[in-house]
């Protein structure tokens, strides 16, 4: 008889276009080979039938609880003056709590697997089996960086959220048998022996070099969820501060912004050289068309690792990023990752790549291999699988 795992997510895992959705989807895909998985997830909107079917392949059961906006906003108001992080208050739901209680009463799970800090409180009182939480990033560090960039009321809100999260995420991590983050930076902030570093991965069967007759030697791309504040800020920074410097020396250069959730603020910057594609069905196909990918992320971004960088390198496309964007990614220029923090130096790196076909060809060979060796989902998932085995073995 297969052992049973209960997955608890704030967002339905498919399509895997946001960080927490990507992590939960690839964990589900791998762990379902050995475990019967029940998924309990919130959904803000009606789930597309094809998306539901894609996830159902890997699940024994799927239970969806609608996230009721009126209840979420009421929770924010009720917790406005308290110490509970607002992101936790937003996801408090009597319906979700009731469904979880029902599942725990009628099933005996071998392990409970929670994704994101905002969902942790649902299972802290349940101790009949081991519990894992994937925090991914430190929310305290995220909020601190966001507060450093904002002004006025937004700065006050994010600063207050950082204060609330600081104590909360440390306490929550300790109430699980195992907590994971993607970098030592995040682990240091949370600061306890219960938190361990497991890097994120890339689906190298999907993100890989492809012979592409549409390859454009003048094309620069930025990829990612454009509804995520750091991505929008990075694109605006590139368009306003860096792209004009590149354009002066390379008049034929083009810049594409690829990813859903594009704001009017970005959309209105489109011109003959700048194209905003929005959501595309195949991110890998569009990355493979480019000669360079850029990730000029600033303070206010997450702390550890960025899918956009790993995905481009997996496709053999060089990436120019900032020190914040590089984070803890252990790759160098020979493997395709270039770092520059000032606009002029960033532009120089992009131009160096665009004008050097031998360099591009070299990276096209080395970068995908480096990603397979260091940042594949296979190696990341095997570490989680080992944790499953060790925790469950202790209870048998």
CA distance 304 to 345: 23
Q: Is the peptide bond before 15 cis (omega within 30 degrees of 0)?
A: yes
Residue with tokens 């308290």: 82
Distance (Å, whole) CA 9 – CA 210: 33
CATH number of 3-201+377-395: 3.40.50.2000
CATH top-level class for 219-374?
alpha beta
For 35, 65, 159, 208, the CA distances from 29, given in Å and listed in that order, are 10, 21, 37, 19
Angle at 364 between CA 202 and CA 238, to 5 degrees: 75
**Three-state DSSP state, 254:** strand
Question: Can you tell me the distance from the alpha carbon of 261 to that of 275, in angstroms, rounded to the nearest whole number?
Answer: 15
Residue 40 backbone phi and psi in degrees, to 5: -120, 115
d(CA 10, CA 91): 8
Which residue from 91, 176, 135, 129 is spatially nearest to 6, judged by alpha carbons? Answer: 129
Phi, psi at 90, each rounded to 5° = -60, -35
Residue 130 has φ and ψ, to the nearest 5°, of -65, 155
Q: Are 94 and 67 in contact (CB under 8 A)?
A: no
Structural domain boundaries in the chain: 3-201+377-395, 219-374
Q: Specify whether the CB–CB gap between 307 and 200 falls below 8 A.
A: yes
> What is the rounded CA–CA span in Å between residue 260 and residue 76?
27
Domains 3-201+377-395 and 219-374 agree in fold: yes
Residue with tokens 């603020």: 265
CB-based burial label for 234 (10 Å; 0-12, 13-18, 19+): buried
Q: Which pLDDT does position 213 carry in this prediction?
A: 65
Give SS3 for 312.
Answer: helix
Tokens found for residue 60: 């024994």
Rg from Cα positions in the chain: 21
- pLDDT tens digits for the chain (396 residues)? 589 999 999 999 999 988 899 999 999 999 999 999 999 999 999 999 999 999 999 999 999 999 999 999 999 999 988 899 999 999 999 999 999 999 999 999 999 999 999 999 999 999 999 999 999 999 998 899 888 878 899 999 999 999 999 999 999 999 999 999 998 889 999 987 789 999 889 999 999 998 776 789 999 999 998 988 889 999 999 999 999 999 999 999 999 999 999 999 999 999 999 999 999 989 999 999 999 999 999 865 555 688 999 999 999 999 999 998 998 899 999 999 999 999 999 999 999 999 999 999 999 999 999 999 999 999 899 999 999 999 999 887
């Amino acid at each position: 008889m297969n052992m049973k795992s209960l997955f608890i997510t704030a967002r339905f895992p498919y399509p895997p276009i946001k960080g927490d959705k990507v992590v939960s989807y690839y964990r589900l895909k791998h762990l379902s080979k050995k475990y019967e998985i029940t998924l309990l997830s919130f959904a803000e909107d009606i789930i597309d039938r094809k998306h539901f079917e894609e996830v159902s392949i890997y699940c024994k059961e799927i239970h969806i609880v609608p996230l009721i906006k009126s209840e979420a906003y009421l929770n924010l108001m009720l917790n406005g003056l308290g110490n509970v992080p607002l992101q936790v208050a937003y996801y408090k739901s009597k319906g979700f709590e009731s469904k979880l209680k029902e599942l725990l009463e009628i099933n005996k799970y071998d392990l409970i697997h929670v994704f994101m800090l905002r969902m942790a409180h649902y299972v802290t009182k349940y101790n009949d089996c081991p519990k894992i939480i994937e925090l991914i990033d430190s929310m305290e560090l995220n909020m601190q960086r966001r507060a450093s960039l904002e002004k006025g009321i937004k700065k006050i809100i994010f600063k207050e959220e950082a204060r609330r999260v600081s104590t909360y995420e440390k306490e929550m991590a300790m109430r699980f048998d195992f907590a994971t983050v993607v970098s030592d930076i995040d682990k240091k902030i949370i600061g306890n022996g219960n938190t361990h570093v497991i890097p994120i991965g890339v689906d190298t069967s999907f993100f890989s070099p492809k012979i592409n007759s549409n390859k454009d030697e003048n094309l620069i791309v930025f990829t990612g969820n454009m509804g995520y504040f750091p991505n929008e800020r990075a694109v605006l920074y590139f368009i306003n501060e860096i792209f004009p410097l590149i354009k002066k020396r390379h008049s034929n250069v083009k810049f594409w912004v690829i990813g859903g959730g594009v704001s009017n603020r970005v959309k209105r910057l489109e011109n003959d050289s700048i194209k905003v594609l929005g959501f595309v069905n195949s991110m890998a196909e569009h990355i493979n068309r480019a000669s360079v990918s850029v990730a000029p992320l600033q303070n206010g971004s997450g702390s550890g690792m960025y899918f956009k960088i790993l995905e481009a390198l997996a496709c053999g496309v060089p990436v120019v990023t900032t020190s914040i964007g590089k984070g803890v990614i252990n790759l160098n220029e020979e493997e395709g990752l270039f770092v520059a923090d000032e606009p002029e130096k960033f532009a120089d790196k992009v131009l160096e790549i665009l004008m050097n076909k031998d360099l591009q060809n070299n990276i096209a060979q080395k970068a995908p291999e480096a990603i397979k060796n260091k940042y594949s989902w296979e190696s990341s998932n095997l570490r989680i699988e080992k944790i499953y085995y060790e925790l469950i073995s202790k209870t048998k």
